[in-house]
Structure 1
Amino acid sequence: MTSEKLSPGMQQYLDVKQEYPDAFLLFRMGDFYELFYDDAVEAAQILEISLTSRNKNADQPIPMAGVPYHSAQQYIDILVERGHKVAIAEQMEDPKQAVGVVKREVVQVITPGTVVDSAKPDSANNFLVALDSDGADFGLAYMDLSTGEFYATLMTDFFSVRSEILNLKARELVIGYDLSEHEEQILTQQMNLLLSQEETRLQAPHLIDANLSPLEISAAEKLLQYIQQTQKRELSHLQQLIHYEFKNYLQMSYTSKTSLDLLENARTGKKHGSLYWLLDKTKTAMGMRLLRSWIDRPLVSRETILERQNIIQVFLDSFFERSDLTDSLKGVYDIERLASRVSFGKANPKDLLQLGHTLTQVPLIKKILESFQSPEVDKIVKQVDTLPELESLISSAIDPDASAIITEGNIIRTGFDETLDKYRKVIREGTGWIADIENKERQASGITNLKIDYNRKDGYYFHVTNSNLSLVPDYFFRKATLKNSERFGTAELAKIEGEMLEAREESANLEYEIFMRIRRQVESYISRLQSLARALATVDVLQSLAIVAENNHYVRPRFNDEQTIAIENGRHAVIENVMGAQEYIPNSIDLDRETHIQLITGPNMSGKSTYMRQLALTVIMAQLGAFVAADKADLPIFDAIYTRIGAADDLISGQSTFMVEMMEANQALKAATAHSLILFDELGRGTATYDGMALAQSIIEYIHHNIGAKTMFATHYHELTELADDLPHLVNVHVTTLERDGEVTFLHKIAAGPADKSYGIHVAKIAGLPQTLLKRADNILTNLEAAAAHIPLSEKGSDESPSSQVQAGQLNLFAEENSHQDLIQRLQNLDVINLTPMEAMNALFELQKML
């Protein structure tokens, strides 16, 4: 369709759409936001709204769909939730006064990473991430636009970048460099991220420390530029950029956090059954977000951990004061997001009333905190700014019954503004005058049911039914005719109406002006409000941890420098809470300075994985500052936790369970230190028995000889228990069972030494497999065990590991057959540096076949 055939309005639409080709354009036309062309077709399907057309009689009608402007937010939410951008084009002038087509401009672009005004508010953060790279390192910056939080860090590999983006649960990524095809495939297809390219940088010296690395600054500035381009306004609530480093926190990959059910249950995707669910007794949205952050990033600073512990202890020791504190926090609204609404110019009277109500609670909260008389609590008290002048402004200005609409009046308290009070007096007295006129005309005309009504179209009028039209006085003039009645006016009524309408209009305009002035005053307090929000959130999380510790009889963990673990009657905190303390069977864990590895054997369903997870959760709870589920706990401070618990394919990226196992094992072996915690469950089971056993043994030996990390290694390969004879820092433990009359009971208790049986067939029996099948399996097992008894795992007395002896023997055999040159040539031709993990595994498989 050529531009000559388009109306000016449609031409304007296409001009605007050209600037936002990757967004749904909501084009304001009267009381509706309209979508046209492909936008209309796709939106109608997604939103389940009617698809119509503009110029229906034309050869090529234009597809059209629309949503009412007053309920548009719910439709915007759906589009953004599906991963789309939405550009909002508003009318920038009054259509009644416009000459030609009404001027329209895009006033905001809402994207998955910039949602701040959802109709379904969620307490969780919504982080927008920006990524930049120089080809070697990566600068990563992220922000929650709804709270103004702003962070940046430097990273050295794409695997860590991927893990951090997953940890942040980001849905949109601002890219500041040219992605490789491999990187783009991971980000879009595997991680389902919306990518937005940003080349230019917005200089913001007041937010960004010039001493940060160039890549961090570049990523942060491109993030700010993208935000300004989409939000199209200056935002006063954006906070100073905070640089963070992973070494300052207990490092865990996204996979580890998921397998440990830290923020949500990995199986259900819900909060219930997670550590967050267990620890969340917070009373504010700010506290909920901060608690999630503490769980996501436990500390490695002993000083800060002890500071948190001290406050929890003070709260535990002062039951009544803590109860008062908890009750006072219930009246605290989400100050962080209220401040952002003020910054965005979206705060309404209800928002300010919530802010005012919160500020009335703050002096009480501060007084209660002062009563604890603790140095650590006093540090927080100093951050609790009561802001009395702001509380006084809001309480004196905003009517407690004010609506959320700022253009229709009745939002400013009487007595706050003298001129406004005069207008209200005219309106109030005018109402009395109208009542007097109504009574006077009823008596004069004899129309007993004569009354005065009002609507926007006709103003004030006398309502007269058809049966009384003969009694209407001559000086009444007709204003409107209805089916069963007519509306009349009089000169006297018109005069009073004019005065009242003028007063009402002037009053509404003045109230709007006063409210906007107050909102600007509130905006000047944003930084102080954000500091107050941080203090209240911290108090909320600590009182929550105190409540959880008290309710569940948790103990305060101690920390040592000897790299020893001594946990007496430890429990898996979440499972215990789900099952009930009476049913859960606790286990003690003891690893002295010289014991690095526990090799755990025992049947499935016996509790090996729970035992390992129990230790991980105890460490995480201890290092976020919480008390732990045990009778006693003495721990080192770990720098990282590496896990491989549970089998899972990564089908989207084409990786089998075994490949995922090997990749996660590789990450742990590369990055772990003597101060790390490694938890490997059944590593090596994804391949042939002897392959898996060889790999499992080699990994254990590597950790023992080269890393020295505290390690729990659960395995079904009972042959590996012989390693305790050769590895001085490894001990065997097993899950105990009770076997009586052919029946097996799993006791879920850990004891020293190796397990003597696997009991896999007994597990199958519990699962209900057919008896004939179980009997046949028992016979096969007996034959296999008899055959295996003649195959030694290793030659005793050798300095080499069993696996290396086997490999050496195989290579010697190859040499005797004069084929070793072919093998050597294959090895020399491998481009090891540039092999993908899958290619490496395939190459290893081919070499193995040659052997």
Structure 2
Amino acid sequence: MDKIGDNASQKRFHEFLNKLGPRPSNTFRFFERINETYSVHGKDQCDVIANIVFKSVAAVKVLGAFADEAKPKNSYYFLTLTRKQFEDAARQLLLVKNYRLEVYVMKNKNQSEWEIEYSGSPGNLIQFEDILFLNKEGFVGCGMLSIRFQRTGVENKMGIAFIDMNEYEFQVAEFVDDDFFAELESVLVCLAPKECLVPSLDGEYYSKINQILERNGILVTLLDKKDSSSKVWKSDLIQDLRHVLKFEKGQKEDPNSLPEIAMELSMNALYSGIKYMQITSDADNNERFKMTKLNFEKFIHLDSAAISAMNLLPKPGTSVHSPSYRWQSILGVLNHCRTQQGQRLMTQWVKQPLRDINTITVRHDIVQCLLEEPGVLKDLSEDTMKKFPDILVLIKKLVRKRFNLQDLFRIYQSILRGKKLFETLTSLNNATVKSVLCNSLESTLTDLGKLKSMVEEVIDFSGIDRHEYLIKDSYNETLLILNNKMRKILEKMDKLHDLAADDIGLEKGAVMKLDYTSQHGYHFRIPLKHDSMLRKSKNYQTISAIKGGVRFTNERLKELSEKFKLNRDEYKIQQNSIVDEIVKIAIGYHGLLSSYNNDIAQIDCLVAFAVAAQNAPIPYVRPKMSAEDVKPRNISLKGLRHPCIELQENVTFIANDANFKKDESHMYIITGPNMGGKSTYIKSVGIAVLMAHIGSFVPATEASISMVDSIMCRVGSSDSISKGLSTFMVEMIESASIIRSATENSLVIIDELGRGTSTYEGGGIAWSIAEHLAKNVRCFSLFATHFFETTNLAVTEPTVKNFHVAAIANEKNFTLLYEIRPKPMEQSFGIHVAKLVKFPQSVVQTADKVFNEFDEQNKIETEDDSKILKKIENSLDKMVMENLEVGDIQSILDEINKDIKKSDGHYKKMLSSKNV
């Protein structure tokens, strides 16, 4: 059995675990051991982490002190991790699986007392930044959302505060929401928080809020009631803001002067967020944050149903290097970004499609310009943009004072590359590129010029080839003395190099080299094929003999190398105080570097849009956009394709058209067999509209789009039972949100509504929702359904148009054409589809037989129903024309009831089910 310490210490540790209490289900606990190892305890969490790190639970062991027990307790199981394995597990748990982490260290050597050293959660990664990001590319957002809710009369007032630790920003907003909290869900999609702080208060509405958060995959953290109801929270908040806010030049340096302070609910939420994240306890946060008011009207309304229905984002944990990443989501299709900052911004843009036609036009102009200059586009995508580091990571290290000369040099390199980028963009000679990209980039680079000059003044560039980042000796007298000593030592080693080359009989420099590594210091190196010549002399000791050559030294070279190392180490000690001063100066450029980072990200995203448009199987086209208030409104898409499906191997996509026009064609009702392409078609329309609003070109041969205020979806029938919701309940929640929120400027996409209940009820629900959208809302809608009765809506509503997905069927063959054609589908192809997917012949024959029986019965029932309806119609006419008394009317109704009971129609079944 594997052990952690002796049996006595194990038992003491287990006593501590018992005293610590049960582990919350959403929290993982790690215990830091000696030699940078970590242990995890409890079979439940050990199994999760073992699968993350080892892809197997075989590594999970049982504590030796309890190994003899017949059934070891859950807490007796343990897992030991190296530092790297712990870091890998932490990344997965925090960034992908949305868990909280606690790391404990020993207070005494006998393992009886431990304390939390640091902790983190998906929205509060501050204490894990070193582990997760600072030595890795790929920094991700760690925004925390805090919510306050107030019920006033019939209104739900929401106050939110979003704490963005990447941009050092407090974003606040207040808004009125409905009982389904549709606006809140749109906010969650827009901001994409990993974690949300909610007061631990009882009540129906707080329960609904928590359900929405969990449904969107957001970790819910309940605050203590005392934290939510503190009477002095406002005065405490003002004190906190005085420490952490950075005021603009000329702005009154008083939090009370900010207009956002009047937003009471939002400020209460912000206070909780600041306390929970302990922002004021970290001096590095002083005078870093700005406060802004969020304006969600700038973006199209999207909810989680729309994100899922249109496959906007890849599945959690999907790597950008995965072969399937490119075609699994719209983000994958568009994300040809070459920088980490670009990839982060692209994710944000996909979730925040714009409603500002001017900004959209600017993006389209720039993408078009890049496509018209394929040579420049290739240079930008395949060379220039790839060389930019993740400046946000460097900014984080700078602010945290973990910045070194190598980081400073990387920023210097990025400034030089920025100048090349500016020259490339300027060469496009495009007015929009110049005003939007070049002017901003030029201004930022000019302001960063002093930082560039400082780097050139202080860094010794000659040492960088040896991967040594040193201050120039001319910068300080002590450094100059030490550098002269090192120079003299190098001269002596060079002479020693001459002597050794003559001694061994090999040419200096070309064959025999004086080499340096951090592990071996200075040494000689010759090709492996000359090893025999080296062995002739006893004056040298071989260090290693590998494919790259034979490394060797002698006593004098070892002595000189050691002296050089001592002088160099002293040089680094002396320069540390200088580096500290340089870091203080560089911190002053924090804001400019952040702006520069944003400039690079924006350029990278626009280049990515152009690459996506260019690389598509059929190049994307620029959409002609018109503002929401421009009449007549239309969405016209010719040769429309689904951008994900057309990228899949061995797929030849069949394009279709869509043509919506105000007061002529508002709604498409689409019928046809499963697998025929109904869902793909309606999603393609929504995706094209969304891509246009992001600023991307669209997968079509021609596109004209009136801007929309929201894209609302009810697609698919996947269960959410794990979150306590059935398929039908999810349908009803999403449909209710559409009915309440859709406006005449919305785009609504509904697929297979009503399948989670009986045929009659499902058909009734589908009809009523379609009718409401067509008659009352009058927005552009796509409605795919198997309830053929819904197609009759086109008879009474001229703006409703029927379409079907084409198929050809006969006794032997069934062929799906994937074309959208006018008119409703004339027959059902369910059994043909069963044959297509190779159902067993006996099953198909039984289905065919039962279908024919049902069809015949339905004809009989329909005939009886027609007779009953005719009699009811005549009776109603008689009641109206003859002005009958109540008793006479009751007699007629009784007679109709008897006729229904004698019939074999649907109405008899309905009466029987209700015991009438």
TM-score range relative to shorter protein? 0.7 to 0.9
Alignment match of 2:413 (pick from 353, 357, 363): 357
The answer (yes or no) to whether the contact 1:116–1:146 under 8 Å persists in 2 is: no
The answer (yes or no) to whether the contact 1:236–1:343 under 8 Å persists in 2 is: no
Alignment match of 1:783 (pick from 844, 853, 857): 853
Instruction: Report the AA paired with residue 153 of structure 1.
Output: A
Which residue in the other structure is 2:325 paired with? 271
Cα pair distance change 1:32/1:265, threshold 3 Å = closer
Deviation at 1:413, TM superposition (A): 4.2
1:772 and 2:782 aligned: no
CA–CA separation in structure 2 for the residues paired with 1:28 and 1:776? 65
1:658 and 2:728 aligned: yes
Deviations 1:336-390 (CA, angstroms, capped at 9, x unpaired) = 2221221122233433232221111011111222222333212222211112221
Deviation at 1:127, TM superposition (A): 2.7
1:245 and 2:300 aligned: no
Deviation at 1:720, TM superposition (A): 2.2
CA–CA separation in structure 1 for the residues paired with 2:28 and 2:793? 63
Which residue in the other structure is 2:673 paired with? 603
Which residue in the other structure is 1:480 paired with? none
Which residue in the other structure is 2:146 paired with? 130
Which residue in the other structure is 1:116 paired with? 129
Deviations 1:654-701 (CA, angstroms, capped at 9, x unpaired) = 322111111111110010001111111111122111111111111111
Alignment match of 1:161 (pick from 145, 162, 184): 184
Instruction: Report the AA paired with residue 454 of structure 2.
Output: L
The answer (yes or no) to whether the contact 1:642–1:668 under 8 Å persists in 2 is: yes
The answer (yes or no) to whether the contact 1:154–1:245 under 8 Å persists in 2 is: no
1:749 and 2:825 aligned: no
Q: Which 10-residue stretch deviates more, 416-425 or 230-239?
A: 230-239
Helix, strand or coil: the match of 1:700? helix
Deviations 1:126-183 (CA, angstroms, capped at 9, x unpaired) = 3322223334422223344245455333343545435644665543323356465725
Alignment match of 1:211 (pick from 247, 259, 269): 259
Cα pair distance change 1:693/1:405, threshold 3 Å = farther
Higher helix share: 2
The answer (yes or no) to whether the contact 2:139–2:393 under 8 Å persists in 1 is: no
Which residue in the other structure is 2:394 paired with? 338
Which residue in the other structure is 1:58 paired with? none
Alignment match of 2:763 (pick from 693, 698, 713): 693
Helix, strand or coil: the match of 1:112? coil
Deviation at 1:757, TM superposition (A): 0.9
Which residue in the other structure is 2:428 paired with? 372
> TM-score scaled to structure 1, two decimals?
0.74
The answer (yes or no) to whether the contact 2:246–2:288 under 8 Å persists in 1 is: no
Instruction: Report the AA paired with residue 585 of structure 1.
Output: I
Q: Which 10-residue stretch deviates more, 564-573 or 211-220?
A: 211-220
Which residue in the other structure is 1:140 paired with? 160
Helix, strand or coil: the match of 1:330? helix
CA–CA separation in structure 2 for the residues paired with 1:516 and 1:660? 57
Deviation at 1:238, TM superposition (A): 4.8
The answer (yes or no) to whether the contact 1:87–1:109 under 8 Å persists in 2 is: yes
Which residue in the other structure is 1:422 paired with? 481
The answer (yes or no) to whether the contact 1:734–1:753 under 8 Å persists in 2 is: yes
Which residue in the other structure is 1:525 paired with? 589
Which residue in the other structure is 1:591 paired with? 660
Q: Which 10-residue stretch deviates more, 40-49 or 678-687?
A: 40-49
CA–CA separation in structure 2 for the residues paired with 1:149 and 1:798? 68
Written as runs of structure 1 = structure 2, the 5 A alignment for 1:807-846 is none
Deviations 1:638-667 (CA, angstroms, capped at 9, x unpaired) = 111111111111102332211111111111
The answer (yes or no) to whether the contact 2:310–2:683 under 8 Å persists in 1 is: yes
Cα pair distance change 1:711/1:166, threshold 3 Å = closer
Q: Which 10-residue stretch deviates more, 537-546 or 559-568?
A: 559-568
Helix, strand or coil: the match of 2:129? coil
Instruction: Report the AA paired with residue 246 of structure 2.
Output: H
Instruction: Report the AA paired with residue 289 of structure 1.
Output: R
Deviations 1:560-603 (CA, angstroms, capped at 9, x unpaired) = 4312222111111221122578x111101112222211111111
1:545 and 2:609 aligned: yes
Cα pair distance change 1:319/1:404, threshold 3 Å = closer
Cα pair distance change 1:424/1:179, threshold 3 Å = farther
The answer (yes or no) to whether the contact 1:251–1:640 under 8 Å persists in 2 is: yes
The answer (yes or no) to whether the contact 2:708–2:745 under 8 Å persists in 1 is: yes
Which residue in the other structure is 2:365 paired with? 310
Which residue in the other structure is 1:300 paired with? 355
Written as runs of structure 1 = structure 2, the 5 A alignment for 1:340-489 is 340-377=396-433, 378-384=435-441, 385-386=444-445, 387-398=448-459, 411-427=470-486, 429=488
CA–CA separation in structure 2 for the residues paired with 1:283 and 1:395? 27
Which residue in the other structure is 1:713 paired with? 783
Which residue in the other structure is 1:100 paired with? none
Written as runs of structure 1 = structure 2, the 5 A alignment for 1:70-85 is 73-74=87-88, 76-77=90-91, 80=94, 83-85=99-101
Alignment match of 1:258 (pick from 303, 308, 318): 308
The answer (yes or no) to whether the contact 1:294–1:624 under 8 Å persists in 2 is: yes
Q: Which 10-residue stretch deviates more, 662-671 or 111-120?
A: 111-120
Deviation at 1:761, TM superposition (A): 0.4
Alignment match of 1:728 (pick from 777, 798, 805): 798
The answer (yes or no) to whether the contact 1:28–1:89 under 8 Å persists in 2 is: yes
The answer (yes or no) to whether the contact 2:406–2:469 under 8 Å persists in 1 is: no
Instruction: Report the AA paired with residue 218 of structure 1.
Output: N
Deviation at 1:723, TM superposition (A): 2.1
Cα pair distance change 1:742/1:580, threshold 3 Å = closer
CA–CA separation in structure 1 for the residues paired with 2:122 and 2:641? 40
Instruction: Report the AA paired with residue 518 of structure 1.
Output: I
Q: Which 10-residue stretch deviates more, 593-602 or 25-34?
A: 25-34
Deviations 1:24-66 (CA, angstroms, capped at 9, x unpaired) = 8989898658889x89997899577999899xxxxxxx99999
Cα pair distance change 1:618/1:64, threshold 3 Å = closer
Which residue in the other structure is 2:376 paired with? 321
The answer (yes or no) to whether the contact 2:141–2:165 under 8 Å persists in 1 is: no
Which residue in the other structure is 1:195 paired with? 221
Cα pair distance change 1:405/1:160, threshold 3 Å = farther
CA–CA separation in structure 1 for the residues paired with 2:728 and 2:892? 31
Deviation at 1:191, TM superposition (A): 4.0
Q: Which 10-residue stretch deviates more, 702-711 or 351-360?
A: 351-360
The answer (yes or no) to whether the contact 2:210–2:220 under 8 Å persists in 1 is: no
Alignment match of 2:276 (pick from 212, 221, 226): 226
User: What is the root-mean-square deviation in Å for CA atoms of aligned residues?
Assistant: 5.0
> TM-score scaled to structure 2, two decimals?
0.70
CA–CA separation in structure 1 for the residues paired with 2:730 and 2:355? 28
CA–CA separation in structure 2 for the residues paired with 1:577 and 1:369? 30
CA–CA separation in structure 1 for the residues paired with 2:427 and 2:436? 13
Cα pair distance change 1:138/1:39, threshold 3 Å = farther
CA–CA separation in structure 2 for the residues paired with 1:160 and 1:422? 67
CA–CA separation in structure 2 for the residues paired with 1:501 and 1:587? 71
Instruction: Report the AA paired with residue 438 of structure 2.
Output: V
Tell me the number of residue pairs that the alignment of Structure 1 and Structure 2 aligns: 737
Deviation at 1:394, TM superposition (A): 2.9
Cα pair distance change 1:743/1:72, threshold 3 Å = closer
Which residue in the other structure is 2:172 paired with? 152
Which residue in the other structure is 2:194 paired with? 171
Give unpaired runs (5+ residues) of structure 2: 1-8, 51-58, 66-75, 108-113, 228-232, 248-254, 497-554, 874-888, 895-909
Instruction: Report the AA paired with residue 194 of structure 2.
Output: R
Instruction: Report the AA paired with residue 559 of structure 1.
Output: M
